[in-house]
Structure 1
Amino acid sequence: MWRERALIVLVVLLHQIHGGDGCSPSSCGKVTNISYPFRLKGDPEGCGRYELSCENNITVLSLLSGTFHVEAINYNNFTIRLVDPGLQPTNCSSLPRYSLSPSNFTDLSLDALRPFGGFLYNFYPYYDEFLYEHIVFLNCSHGVSGNSKYVDTGGCVNWESKGYIYAMAVDDLLAKDLEVGCQVKQVTGTSWWGLETYEYSYATIHTALLYGFQLSWIPLACHDHCSGPYDCYFNSSSKKLQCQGMT
């Protein structure tokens, strides 16, 4: 009898670890369905691996060395959209508090213990799709002309330094994108796509930053769904996880 009871307890615990029995969705502000792999501070630890806080009715995620506002969680494609708290909707001079290096979330490792990545793995063997593009702020010793990538911040951004302040959107920051006499001051991200293909104003860049950037917890989802993170990919047609070797 004691073995049967122990087995029942084990099954219940396993369900809780994967967001099952005993774990009801939580909410905070605009984020109304916080569930596995997330849990709100104060929820049972077994209900989610990643803890979110509710501060002044705003959902907050601690990430790297900072905290970010959670704009949305998409459980269909395993992404979370974050906004830097330093940005203000009606203040074009507001800047992100945190500088995010392109390497912070673009490691191709599928380690399920690594919290978030900047890719969706669409097809085996893991065709990677960027979830965001980079916004780069530059301080140049001279005015830049003839390069449409360089967008004048129009006096909105001032680091109390001499020179000219520009912003540009790029998929990845390459040495060829840097004009002579320009230094990178800050790098951040946005999932407001298409900026690098059109001419746009700094007001558009600021709007894109306010939209935020997406990250994925695909490795953890694959680890839970299949035998391990390397045996799984995201089927962009069915919008479901697919285990290797299964249809």
Structure 2
Amino acid sequence: MWRERSLIVLVVLLHQIDGGDGCSPSSCGKITNISYPFRLKGDPQVCGRYELSCENNITVLSLFSGTFRVEAINYNNFTIRLVDPGLQPTNCSSLPRYFLSPSNFTDDGLRPYGRWYRNGWFYDEFFYEHIVFLDCSDGVSGNSKYVDTGGCVNWESKGYIYAMAVGDLLAEDIEVGCDVKLLAPTSWWGLDTNNYSYAIIHKALLYGFQLSWIRLACEGRCTDTYCYFSINQRLECAGEGIFIIKND
């Protein structure tokens, strides 16, 4: 009898280790625990909804016709952090290769990743803000949002190149004579002040941006109510009779 019980315990443990679907975690470079909803290229499709690739021992994700380096996957808060491959740590002249605007990450349920998670019942918290690069015909003064790139970026421009950190880009943010050249996201929170340099902006871009698969995690979890990521750092279903503000 004890042998039968031991065998049952062993089967249960193996079932938990491989995720319950016969899939063991994969690894590539510093990303050592690739598991559902992700799978590494070559793994069975049942092992993950979204495919990652391993190129030169670097984990990458194809997104919006671009390829991004995967810096981290957090299975506790359902986020993946990506970095544009055009950025280089020791080269301030390196720039994001891809132009990503807020419209790329609409919450219409059609995208594999959303840009928000429900933190409590009454508000949404965004995972990133945008760095905007502008080419201005004249120098900008009196606007602390505009940060001089200090000669790191020129684009063969005869004017002035500035970078600016914004949540969502508004028309009022664009000074007269300035054109938007590039828009790139970051989830680095060191930009919560108007007193920062271009070195800090470049560091923020190198940190990358987080996207969430919270909607996939919530699928089928709640019936006739709302699934959200609570302040207790877990998925919960909203209680009956509680008024929920939902931003569509």
TM-score when normalising by structure 1: 0.86
SS of equivalent residue, structure 1 residue 46: helix
Q: Distance in 2 between matches of 1:188 and 1:196?
A: 17
Q: Which moved more, 1:66-75 or 1:21-30?
A: 21-30
Q: Structure 1: which 5+ residue stretches go unaligned?
A: 1-14
Write the letter of the residue equivalent to 2:204: A
Residue 55 of structure 1 deviates from its aligned partner by: 0.4
* Conserved? CA contact 1:74–1:80, under 8 Å: yes
Residue 54 (structure 2) aligns with = 54
Write the letter of the residue equivalent to 2:147: V
Q: Does 1:201 pair with 2:197?
A: yes
Alpha-carbon distance change, 196 to 167 in structure 1, aligned in 2, over 3 angstroms: farther
Q: Does 1:117 pair with 2:114?
A: yes
Q: Distance in 2 between matches of 1:241 and 1:20?
A: 20
Alpha-carbon distance change, 224 to 33 in structure 1, aligned in 2, over 3 angstroms: farther
Q: Distance in 1 between matches of 2:84 and 2:141?
A: 30
Q: Distance in 1 between matches of 2:19 and 2:217?
A: 12
Deviations 1:22-52 (A, max 9, x none): 0111111111110000000111100100000
Deviations 1:60-115 (A, max 9, x none): 0000110000000000100000000000001100000001011211x233x2x520
CA-based RMSD: 2.0
Q: Distance in 2 between matches of 1:21 and 1:202?
A: 47
Residue 235 (structure 1) aligns with = 230
Q: Distance in 1 between matches of 2:77 and 2:181?
A: 33
Q: Distance in 2 between matches of 1:179 and 1:196?
A: 21
SS of equivalent residue, structure 1 residue 203: helix
Residue 122 of structure 1 deviates from its aligned partner by: 1.8
Residue 130 (structure 1) aligns with = 126
TM alignment of 1:1-247, pairs within 5 A: 19-105=19-105, 107-109=106-108, 111=109, 114-124=111-121, 127-227=123-223, 231-236=226-231, 238-245=232-239
Write the letter of the residue equivalent to 2:156: E
Write the letter of the residue equivalent to 1:211: Y
* Conserved? CA contact 1:20–1:47, under 8 Å: no
* Conserved? CA contact 1:133–1:170, under 8 Å: yes
Q: Distance in 2 between matches of 1:182 and 1:131?
A: 27
Q: Distance in 2 between matches of 1:224 and 1:157?
A: 48
Deviations 1:206-246 (A, max 9, x none): 11100000000011010153359x7311112x211012338
Write the letter of the residue equivalent to 1:213: F
Write the letter of the residue equivalent to 2:127: L
Write the letter of the residue equivalent to 1:143: G
Q: Distance in 2 between matches of 1:53 and 1:137?
A: 30
* Conserved? CA contact 2:21–2:47, under 8 Å: no
Write the letter of the residue equivalent to 1:60: V
* Conserved? CA contact 2:190–2:204, under 8 Å: no
Write the letter of the residue equivalent to 2:191: L
SS of equivalent residue, structure 1 residue 27: strand
TM-score when normalising by structure 2: 0.86
Q: Distance in 1 between matches of 2:137 and 2:19?
A: 54
Residue 121 of structure 1 deviates from its aligned partner by: 1.5
* Conserved? CA contact 1:98–1:188, under 8 Å: yes
Residue 11 (structure 2) aligns with = none
Write the letter of the residue equivalent to 1:182: C
Q: Distance in 2 between matches of 1:72 and 1:40?
A: 14
